[in-house]
Structure 1
């Protein structure tokens, strides 16, 4: 029966009352039932209760509205009857799961009065005081719009990746031809001009590779495992040209992350620190503070919400701290402008956030906030 009828008494009154006190207690129970039923009726989601035989026992009016069925038609229906044929096997498996494990969740599509709806269905086992199974209850939530948005986003990401691959292919062909002619011209031109041309071609190659990486990092699913930030940072440091920069020994920080992508994140941040930090000829020793400023020092530190990477270089002006994550934001002569954009893409692919701020010694600091369910 519909949930709005569950708490009704016969003819609106308790059948037999032996005392005034009992009448009061029953009246209170009836009021509580009415409040509960009214609350469930306000839900935009479908609420349902199935008995121990897996037959529909109680529901809210939303189910009537979506399927255009009366209480009499709904009563005793099997769960699979609501859904399209292709999804019924998944619903059956979910019902078996709720009776075996005590809870379940599944997605299934149904033809409704509002068109084809994708439901996210939950189930929780119901037991009596003596432990006997009485059935299960749950909620059917319409996630059609969410799934459509995800589908369109996936298609957009796929097209973006395809575009980047095609563009990279088309650019590399003339680059290869140009490189070949450049080698032939080296016999006639000055070494300085040849070196300048080679540097330009190498920069184009770097931009192409970073562009392809930028289109992929935020779309590919992460293969997460328990990793130690200290190990990742140490390995990344070996992979990049660090000049006179120094990495302080990082402390152990355990997170759930994709190892290869996290390695790329640290490499990009280290390159950023070394590239944008002042050179040796721009720095002087500060004897009063006791801080050695003859080289860039980079630290990896734990934070209450995750970890941070900071240096003692030039730092980032407050009005530039958001813009540095945009593609093409680099102002370095040899920068591609994709380094920090890729850092943010990798962080967001893990469900993290990253922000730029000031370091302890005035340099740049990048703070990563990790969701509670991703930290070890």
Structure 2
């Protein structure tokens, strides 16, 4: 079928027939009889054989029914002209010429069918059946071709390698052209030698890959990461599924392979960053705490020998240094990306975090009957630091409220203390920034690092209660809990 003729195909509920015959009375009779045989039929007829090609080119025609012997052109001449317009259009010779020579010539030319005119009425039932069969076959082929073309376009416009092998991996049944770029081998090479991709695999990964291939052939879906060697080394990930027949036997394996090089590079960079943070934390813990312990020990000796207000000042300074060191350790470690999460009951976590701090005379109101996907320990630190911050800046008797945002995109922690000055809101999450002379300036910085490590966002605004309101958003995995989760 040509591209232009595809747009003229009639709806499936209708079959449009063009009947060509030099006898107008006979053409009208055939049209009436066919339309009575099948209410889907619409029959247009013409006595001008020379206009048939133009009608096919400009109108939606599903089948041409043509006489053979006509004054201007024979039925086969009409057939040749129709084929120049639409090479796949069903064409049936309906003729009173029962010549074996003509029938043979018609079949050799590729005519869809050959029906001899008879004087009995039931010939129209046969003719209608033949027309319907050829039209529906053509439509089915058109749908199949369109589906195949769409699948081919989909396969060739993906960044992944799509493939199908026989169950024992000895025969390649399909692979798209993306393979050539990813594996630096031609598709033809792989068709000739279905194991050729193993030669492109890093030697250290071949055994693992072959093990995965064996397991999927045994019926077990597999996911495996491995390296491909070429001009550069690439990391790829393959997903393989066994395809079974009606007896349950594995007859093929199908799957896809995609490039994960960038992801692997990010993982390596993250691992390097985390190692640097751990080294920093170790230096802080060892190199600073050791001399601090020495100073604290000598302070105790000095207290035994003398009683002086100056020694109390030294003690407070050492306590503050210990606090600074502890919070520096937390700050270093909390910048690490969160990779181990689980559903956490927010109700329980808020309560346990509240019980972990010195509450003084503050009070807590919480409505957080949800579960959230998070690192429980690190999210607990967020609540503890927000609670301490509220008490530190809002007073010992501050009231703190925790609840869900109206759009359920996250949660908030607010208090009825003093609001944060507008000119300070952009600075409060900076490391070392504080408005309290006794503060370290690390508490809110730690909170932001933990929130960002989860992939969330934190912002601050004024609370309706008069104090500060912290909103944490982007927690899309919040789901309602049931009664059992609250017990």
Normalised-by-shorter TM-score class: 0.7 to 0.9
2:288, 2:253 → 1: CA distance?
60
Q: 1:45 to 1:317 in 2, by over 3 A?
A: farther
Q: Please give the secondary structure, in 1, of the residue aligned with 2:433.
A: coil
Aligned to 1:85: 203
Q: Please give the secondary structure, in 2, of the residue aligned with 1:367.
A: strand
Q: Please give the secondary structure, in 1, of the residue aligned with 2:289.
A: helix
The reply on whether 1:332 has 2:449 as its aligned counterpart is no
Aligned residue among 346, 363, 376 for 2:450: 346
Q: 1:142 to 1:133 in 2, by over 3 A?
A: same
Q: Please give the secondary structure, in 1, of the residue aligned with 2:431.
A: coil
How many residue pairs end up in the alignment?
346
Q: State whether residues 84 and 110 of structure 1, in contact with CA within 8 Å, keep that contact through their aligned partners in structure 2.
A: yes
Aligned residue among 386, 399, 403 for 1:301: 403
Displacement of 1:298: 0.5
Displacement of 1:121: 1.6
Q: State whether residues 372 and 475 of structure 2, in contact with CA within 8 Å, keep that contact through their aligned partners in structure 1.
A: no
Displacement of 1:336: 1.4
Displacement of 1:263: 2.7
CA distances 1:130-170 after superposition (whole Å, capped 9, x unpaired): 98755243322111122112202211221122123213322
The reply on whether 1:52 has 2:156 as its aligned counterpart is no
Aligned to 1:274: 391
* Structure of greater Rg: 2
1:267, 1:253 → 2: CA distance?
19
1:208, 1:220 → 2: CA distance?
22
1:246, 1:349 → 2: CA distance?
29
TM-score normalised by structure 2 residue count: 0.62
2:472, 2:214 → 1: CA distance?
42
1:65, 1:226 → 2: CA distance?
41
2:253, 2:142 → 1: CA distance?
28
1:161, 1:68 → 2: CA distance?
40
Higher RCO, Cα 8 Å, sep 6+: 1
- CA RMSD between the two structures: 3.3
**Consecutive unaligned residues in structure 1, runs of 5 or more:** 1-12, 281-294
Aligned to 1:151: 268
Q: Please give the secondary structure, in 2, of the residue aligned with 1:178.
A: helix
TM-score normalised by structure 1 residue count: 0.78
Aligned to 1:33: 148
Aligned to 1:105: 223
Aligned to 1:289: none
Matches of residues 61-210 of structure 1 in structure 2 within 5 Å?
61-75=177-191, 77-78=194-195, 80=198, 82-95=200-213, 98=216, 103-112=221-230, 114-126=231-243, 134-186=251-303, 190-191=308-309, 193-210=310-327
Q: Please give the secondary structure, in 2, of the residue aligned with 1:361.
A: coil
**Consecutive unaligned residues in structure 2, runs of 5 or more:** 1-86, 89-109, 114-133, 482-487
The reply on whether 1:363 has 2:467 as its aligned counterpart is yes
